[in-house]
A and B are shown apart, each in its own frame.
Chain A
Amino acid sequence: MADGSTLAMPAASAPAGSLQRFARRRSTIAFLMTLPLILVIFGLVAWPAGYAMYLATLNRRMTEFIGLGNFEILLDSETFRMVIFQSVFFAVTAVILKALIGFWLAHMLHHIPTKGQRKWRGMLLVPWVIPPALSTLGWWWMYEPSYSSLNWLLAIFAVPPVPWLGEPWWARISVIIVNVWYGAPFFMIMYLAALKSVPEQLYEAAAIDGATSWQRLRYVTLPMMRNIISITVLFSLIVTFANYDIVRVLTNGGPRDLTHVFASYAFQVGILAGNIPRGAAVSLFMFPILAVIAFFVLRGINKRNREEA
């Protein structure tokens, strides 16, 4: 501007060109700034996902196209049907427990004076902070048949020793216990944040309207938190469904391949046994389930954004 170019008003058609150039320039800069992200998304997620689908249609030596052969073989095998059952059972049970315990703890935490909340929250979140593969080692040690410190504690109450990892059903429960221990604090934190976002006046209004504490929970808290609850549950469902660390460290699929989930079985088949296409097929079984959940998560988020807008 300091150049003092005092040109007369140009004809009305002239300016469009440089405006568009300005907008194009901005788009170009923006595109360059997102390019690394695009590379990560497409190069390391989208393309591998597509590649997995291609891999799953090959034979073991990856020399021949066999269509859905891998999927057929998998569905025919008793072990894999067990994996499906085990994965679903594990994910659903663990998420329900995590959600309930997390909700209960968040509620209790919300009740105590604000001053002390930070301290308790800090303690209760510790399981989430330790890398799960490592804390699972601790659990493994506590479950250890001959030295089990858990059985020692149970013995105090005259409970007979539990074969934590030795018997399939107990092994399943053990895996779920560890996952709930690890994940419940996450739910607690999310719910606590949601609880704090409910305006105090709503509770006051409800109290004056004569609502009991149960009714306040039912008609104020839950509706206000519905969205966060569903997003957290769906999100946790994905993560739990795809869990690998805990099963790998605790049971590694045993006893007798009865506690495998999709991830650990895919690992077993694909990496350890070297049948890459079959392994890809196993992990692809997760895909439709995850896609459905992702759809609902996205819908929930869009809905909330719209409500807030």
Chain B
Amino acid sequence: MAQVSLRRVVKAYEGGVQAVKGIDLEIADHEFVVLVGPSGCGKSTTLRMIAGLEEITSGDIAIGGTVVNDIPPRDRDIAMVFQNYALYPHMSVFDNMAFGLTLRKFPKEEIKRRVDNAARILDITPLLDRKPKALSGGQRQRVAMGRAIVRDPKVFLFDEPLSNLDAKLRVQMRTEIKKVHQTVKTTTVYVTHDQVEAMTLADRVVVMNHGVIEQVGPPQELYHRPATRFVAGFIGSPAMNFIPARVENGSGALRLNLPNGIVLPVPEERTSRYAQAAGKEVLFGIRPEHLTEPKNLDRSNIAVFELTPEVIEPMGMETLVHLWLQGAEVCSRIDPTTPAEPGRPMPVAADLNHMHLIDPETGRVL
């Protein structure tokens, strides 16, 4: 039993600056939850409050049903993996992993059994006698995880564990972390600023911004049904396009007036949902992958219009085209075989089944 509960948790620093502004979060046993957001959004502070490294200004944090507000980190039965690994430089890999158990006076054989087991899971058995200095970044990362695993804690806490690795290793370690979690099934709270990491790892993603939770949900839900403009823009790469638009009511159907005189019909099934926005200025949100060269024209709710490319970025399996639309740059993902040339207008197709409308004042997705 190791669910984690946060209730109205606030962190305020001297001078009244609030890093975390009263968040509620329930994390189930065995769940892998990722806190994601830009730097300074309060995600690390939240993690450190769960760890006990930061005091809680108000609210409660409970681990496994026990309120841990006043319990020092060592008694919270948690393990943490740090961004810079925080391996003890003077200890061998074995001793690094065994340190927590040694301090808790575990018997020698038990320590050895646990360390060997963790080393096998992480494939670092041959490194056990080395010092951290003699390890590569990826190996250090594994040792840091091993140190967490041997403790067999109630909760794993990861604080941006992959940020110090190069891109290739990061992808590899990401898979590794997921694999380890599937093996040990320990409740995990993972902090990152990288939305790809969040999407790939999480059972549920918690998007934070300015000390509050913007949205909580499984990765697919966040991607397809973002609740706010912030989530819509933060999840997905390249980011969603936001184009200023005006909703017009025309004979029972809604229309979107975009700049350049482009008019898009709102899909019928969404008419009632957007009815309240009629006559208002909104932001029309559409992901680059839903703004392509004309294709699937037989399907409903595909609108084709013409725009002029500014910059073409071939990526190999696809090509990113940055188009200019009166004050807004619009990104589109097209098939690499489609001819595109800067300055020559080209037709693009918007898949309006995946459109979003955002209230520019509240930032909420309608």
Contact = CB atoms under 8 A, between A and B. Distances in A.
A22 B58 contact: no
A15 interface: yes
A5 B67 CA distance: 9
A1 to B, nearest CB: 5
B62 interface: yes
Interface stretch (A6-14, A130-138, A223-231): A6-14
A6 B2 CA distance: 12
A63 interface: no
B65 interface: yes
Interface SS, A side? loop
A2 B77 contact: yes
A6 B59 CA distance: 17
A19 B61 CA distance: 14
A18 B70 contact: yes
Nearest to B71: A1
A18 B71 CA distance: 9
A19 B57 CA distance: 10
A5 B76 CA distance: 12
Interface residues of B, number: 21
B359 interface: no
A9 B7 contact: yes
B60 interface: yes
B76 A1 contact: yes
Contacts of B75: 1
Contacts of A15: 56, 60, 67, 69-70
A22 to B, nearest CB: 7
B69 to A, nearest CB: 4
Given A1-B76, A1-B77, A7 B66 contact: yes
B72 interface: yes
B7 A5 contact: no
B72 A12 contact: no
Nearest to A15: B69
A180 B58 CA distance: 62
A86 B66 CA distance: 74
B172 to A, nearest CB: 32
A263 B20 CA distance: 59
A7 B67 contact: yes
Interface of A: 1-2, 4-7, 9-10, 12, 15, 18-19, 22
Shortest 8 CB-CB contacts between residues of A and residues of B: A18-B70, A15-B69, A6-B65, A1-B77, A1-B75, A9-B60, A15-B70, A19-B70
Given A7-B66, A15-B69, 8 more contacts: A1-B71, A1-B75, A6-B65, A9-B7, A15-B67, A15-B70, A19-B69, A22-B72
